[in-house]
Structures are given as structure tokens and as C-alpha cells.
Amino acid sequence: MQRTYFLFVAALVLLHFIATSSASIIVANNHNNSASDLNALLAFKAAIFDSQRIIPTNWSTSTSVCNWIGITCNARHHRVAAIDLSYMGIAGTIPPQLGNLSFLVRLNVMNNSFHGHLPTEISRLHRLKYINLASNDFEGEFPSWLGCLSALQYLSFRDNGFSGPLSGRLSNFTKLETISLGFNFFTGNLSEEFSALPKLKFLEIQQNQLVGPLPRALFNLSSLRSIGFTNNSLSGYLPAHICDYLPQLQGIYLSWNYFEGEIPSGIGECSGLQILSLSHNKFRGYIPNGVWNLTTLITLYLGDNDLTGKLPTSLCFEKLLYIVSLDAYVWRNT
């Protein structure tokens, strides 16, 4: 009886020790994790120049990082989940310590004066879904390690100084929905890797130095709503049945390139198309009849090509709001 009682008491003591130890470990881990977030943001603060002194004043260790301007913490773990410093007129660089924000989901520093290269440590942010670096002065090649960010859904490097090839850099983004890389200095051909982007909806890479044809894989992405390559040096022919696998397509922006051949007859099958911009290319021949039946069309740019023919007697552009550019259209069959 005494032995049983002793074992019972010993078991209670052991359970109490385990529970106390576990609680201590959890508290210690939470403290360490919070300290990691704090140190990462302090490193970011040190890399920022803010002429209005909003960040230097507000980002103080006397208050929780969750109360800092531009910082949002998640409710469950009280860890840094979002950084939004957009339109704050600040300058600086992205420090490698930012890669320690293991719960970060959103990073938005658009419309500032950040510069330099992106640190490879950002590749550790496996929860990151949204990254917006638009309208800054970042430079360097498109980082190959971005493919490690498997949760990424939105990516914008628009209006920076990025350069180099894109071929081979856009795979592994199986959840990516938006790519915005316009107004940079990307060069070279585009590869067929778009087939690895099954959820892509918006693709915008205008005002770069891309050459060669558009990848055929691009026209098999059933979720795609907008294709934007205005002002590059792309060439070749557009597929005749361009809309067969693009049921949600709303915008085609291909002006100021070197595309040739006839405007694809399949464009008339883009039943939801709102914007068709093909001006300043080398298209020739007739405008497909299907174009005139696109009842959802809002904007049409076809000028500065080598098109022939005449307008139909009746048009169905019920929603057309913006300028219809058909200048340099040759009327030969009047």
C-alpha cells in the first residue's frame, strides 16, 4: 500500500516537472522568437533613411513591434506577419536580417527610394505570399532563389533597375497569380517555363528589352486574364487560335513590338476581352471579323501596322469608351 502511494506521488511530481518544464520552454521560445523579430526590424531601421523621422521615432524598443507604424502581427503567435512602408518617402536597403522574420506573409515597400541588391536571406521566408518592391531603385538580376518562395502569390518588381535574363527564373511559382516586372532592363528570350505557373492571372513585363517570340505555353494558362508586353522587341507570330485555352482573358497589351503576320482570327473567340492593344507592330492583312463582334471591348489600338480592308457597316462595340486607334489603316476595298 505504501509502495503504491509512493509511486502515485512520484508520478504526480514527475508530471508537474514535465508540465513546468514544457511551459518554461514555450515561454523561452516565444521570448526568443519575439527577440528575433525585434532584432530583424532594428536592423531594418538602421538601414533606412527617413527624412521625416517617422520610423526612427516610432520604431522604439519601449513599445511592442506589433504597435510600430507599418508593422502587423498575427493574432495567434504575435509574430510579425506584414510590413507595409509604401509611399513613405524613405530610402535605404533591405538588410539580410529580414530573412529572420519567419512568419512574414506580406512585404510592401513600393514607391520609396530603396536601392541595392536583394539579400539571399529573403529566400528563407517560406510563408511569404506577397512582395511589392515597385517604384524604387533596386538593381541586379532577377534572383534565382525567389523560386524557394513556394507560397508566393503576388510579385511586383515594377519600375526599378533590375536587369539580365528572365529565362529559367520564373519556374517553381506554382501559386503565383500576379507577375509585374515592367519598366526594368530585363533582356533575352522568354522560355516555356510559364507552363509551371498554373494559377497565373496577371502578367505584366512591359518596357523592357525582351526579344524573340512569346512562349506557346503562355497561351495554355486557363486562369490568365491579362498579358502585357508593351514596348519590348518581341517578334514572331501570334497563334491562330489564341483564345482557345484562355477563357478568362480580358486584356492583351502587345503594342510597340515587332510581331508580324495576320492578326489571329481566334481573337474573336475571346468573349470577355476588354482591351486589345496591338498597335506599332508589323501585322498585315485584314482585321478579323471576330474583332468587330467583341461586345465587351472597351479599348482598341491597332494603328501603325500594315492592315488593309474596310470597316464593317455595323459595329457591336456597345461598351467602347476609349480612343479607337486605327490610324495608318489602308482602305483598299471601298
Q: Classify residue 170 as exposed, middle or buried by CB count within 10 Å of its CB (0-12, 13-18, 19+).
A: buried
Q: Is 12 exposed, middle or buried (0-12, 13-18, 19+ CB in 10 A)?
A: exposed
Average pLDDT over residues 244-260: 97
Number of Cα atoms under 13 Å in the Cβ half of residue 184: 30
- Measured CA to CA, the distance from residue 287 to residue 306 in angstroms comes to 10
* pTM (whole model) above 0.95: no
Rounded to whole angstroms, how far apart are CA atoms 154 and 177?
Answer: 6
* pLDDT band at residue 25 using 50, 70 and 90 as cut-offs: very low
Tell whether the model's pLDDT for residue 28 goes beyond 80: no
Among the ranges given (80-84, 233-237, 289-293), the one the predictor scored with the smallest mean pLDDT: 289-293
What span, in angstroms and rounded, lies between the C-alpha atoms of 172 and 194?
Answer: 10
- pLDDT tens per residue, range 53-111: 999 999 999 999 999 999 999 999 899 999 999 999 999 999 999 999 999 999 999 99
Q: How confident is the model at residue 24 (pLDDT cuts 50, 70, 90)?
A: very low
pLDDT at 14 over 60: no
Query: Average pLDDT in the 101-127 region?
Result: 98
Helix (H) or strand (E) holding 155: strand 154-156
Categorize the per-residue pLDDT at 315 as very low, low, confident or very high, splitting at 50, 70 and 90: low
**What's residue 29's pLDDT?**
42
- Indicate whether 147 pLDDT > 70: yes
Residue 13 scores a pLDDT above 60 = no
Where do the domains of the chain lie, and which CATH numbers do they carry?
71-325 (3.80.10.10)
Neighbouring C-beta atoms of residue 171, cutoff 10 Å: 14
Positive or negative, the CA dihedral 213, 159, 323, 318 is positive
At 11 the pLDDT is 55
**Mean pLDDT for all residues in the chain:** 88
Alpha helices in the chain (DSSP H): 2-46, 54-58
Q: Is the pLDDT of residue 323 over 70?
A: no
pLDDT in tens, 176-198: 999 999 999 999 999 988 888 99
Whether pLDDT at 9 is above 60: no
User: How large is the average pLDDT for residues 255-272?
Assistant: 96
- CB burial class (10 A; 0-12, 13-18, 19+) of residue 208? buried
The confidence score (pLDDT) of residue 82 equals: 99
Termini Cα distance of the chain:
114
pLDDT at 5 over 60: no
pLDDT recorded at residue 171: 82
Torsion, Cα of 42, 66, 122, 181 (10° steps): -110
